[in-house]
Amino acid sequence: MSDLRMNSVFGAVLASVLGIMGVGVLADTLVHTNYPDTPGYLPEVVLEAASGGAAAPAGPPDFGRLFADQVQLDELIARGARVQAQCTACHSFDAGGANGIGPNLHDAFGRAVASHAGFEYSEPMQAHGGAWDYLALNDFLASPSRNVPGTKMAFAGLRNDQDRVAMIAYLRSISPNNVALPAPLPEAAPAAAEGEAAPTEVDAAAAPAGG
């Protein structure tokens, strides 16, 4: 009697499995999955430079050209005055102003690094050396912690080039220190037309005078 019952249970299980398989085959017959020849959405891909690597970083700002134009310089100073508002929590900018979390910056432009009286600079800043000229300020303001590892200045930096140049123009405008304006950087030679070789120094020397 128990054998008969076991056979009945086995038969019922087998019938269920076969039924489920039959339903699957029937569904595949009735429903077809169709994929379009071209997808409706393509992810945006940012291509690297033609050389195969990342684009080369831009060089330093051309202070000699930017600050030589008085109209442009005045605009930069006005913008720098707005940028410096984010620095007033730690620094004062008035002549004779007190030190805060950071030193007074009234005469920072052109001043020797770590030289403002009454402020206790970090050892890395004291060892940095040099003076705060155009390029030194540009490098430091871009990323203080990268330029002077170990500095107490927690500010992340002015990553926007125009804001950074404007801040330097503002610091220069309020400082009594006189730092000569650097010579303008040489302008890049115009690119040769496609298929046309750029002139070489030898070609230029061989060209007839006057034409």
Model confidence at 206: pLDDT above 80: no
pLDDT of residue 190: 64
pLDDT of residue 36: 42
pLDDT digits (tens, 9 = 90+) for 160-188: 999 999 999 999 999 999 999 999 999 86
DSSP-assigned letter for residue 86: G
pLDDT of residue 18: 59
Which residues sit opposite 87 in a β-bridge? none
Cα torsion for 65, 66, 71, 75, to the nearest 10°?
Answer: 180
* Amino acid in position 171: L
pLDDT digits (tens, 9 = 90+) for 81-97: 999 999 999 999 999 99
In CATH terms, 63-174 corresponds, of 3.40.710.10, 1.10.760.10, 1.20.1250.20, 1.20.1290.10, to 1.10.760.10
DSSP-assigned letter for residue 131: B
pLDDT of residue 187: 82
Average pLDDT over the chain, rounded to an integer: 78
pLDDT of residue 45: 32
pLDDT of residue 31: 47
Quote the CA–CA distance of 39 and 63 in Å, as a whole number.
50
Quote the CA–CA distance of 139 and 174 in Å, as a whole number.
20
Taking residues 141-167, what's their average pLDDT?
95
pLDDT of residue 197: 58
Model confidence at 4: pLDDT above 80: no
pLDDT digits (tens, 9 = 90+) for 18-77: 566 655 555 455 544 443 443 333 333 333 333 444 444 468 999 999 999 999 999 999
Quote the CA–CA distance of 189 and 172 in Å, as a whole number.
31
CA distances from 202 to 76, 117, 188, 199, 205 (A): 42, 57, 19, 8, 5
pLDDT higher at 37 or 2: 2
Strand ranges (DSSP E) for 51-157?
Answer: none
Model confidence at 8: pLDDT above 80: no
End-to-end CA gap in the chain: 118
